[in-house]
Amino acid sequence: MAPRKVMSSTVVFLVATACSPGVDTAREAQQLLEIDRAWAQIAATGNMPDSVLSFWAEDARVVLAGEPVFQGKAAIREMLTDMASVPGFHVTWTPEGAEVSVAGDFAYTFGSNEFTAPDSTGELMTTKGRYITVWRKEADGRWRCVMDYTNPAPAEGPTQ
């Protein structure tokens, strides 16, 4: 093989591996759905703060219908503590889809959720809703949620 050909192959190989360093976006999306499912299971146990909190990024923004924006981990921790103190409070969600950016640094998941809390008469009421979460892969290689929006579904009919 001539030296020029050797060099050209080397360059092409390096470019290819450096530009998509093993990012299989379909596989990443499946892994992220698993992470989101695991998060929902932990949240559903009601043992809120620390384990649940670790899924959000430091600068995350949580936006629930009718609530002020919870920005950053301190505010989110307070939100979780408040939720955990509500008698009968329960939350869970079911991821239904995910998409990952080509470089594997950015993604979203979406799905349906259920919040249970006492209504004004003290009776426990479950509200079905929909959510979207945007995720960033951080320096330690872990996906963390940066944006978390949820809204209520119609009172009747399908949530999705």
| Residue ranges that bind a copy of itself, judged by CB under 8 A | 7, 10-11, 14-15, 18-19, 61, 63-69, 99, 101-103, 105-108, 110, 130-132, 134, 136, 146-147, 149-155, 157-160
Q: Which of 115, 93, 83 is nearest to 36 (CA)?
A: 93
Nearest-approach distance from CB 35 to a copy of itself, in angstroms: 18
- In the bound state with a copy of itself, the residue whose beta carbon lies nearer, of 15 and 86, is 15
CB nearer a copy of itself, residue 53 or residue 147: 147
Q: Which is nearer to a copy of itself, 10 or 41 (CB)?
A: 10
Q: State which amino acid sits at residue 75.
A: A
Smallest distance, a copy of itself to C-beta of residue 110, A = 7
Which residue, 39 or 135, has its beta carbon nearer to a copy of itself? 135
**C-beta of 129: minimal distance to a copy of itself in Å?**
8
Contacts 24+ apart (CB under 8 A), 26-30: 28/100, 28/104, 28/107, 29/98, 29/99, 29/100, 29/107, 30/98
- The arrangement of strands across the sheet holding 143-152 comes to 70-71, 56-63, 143-152, 124-137, 106-118, 90-100
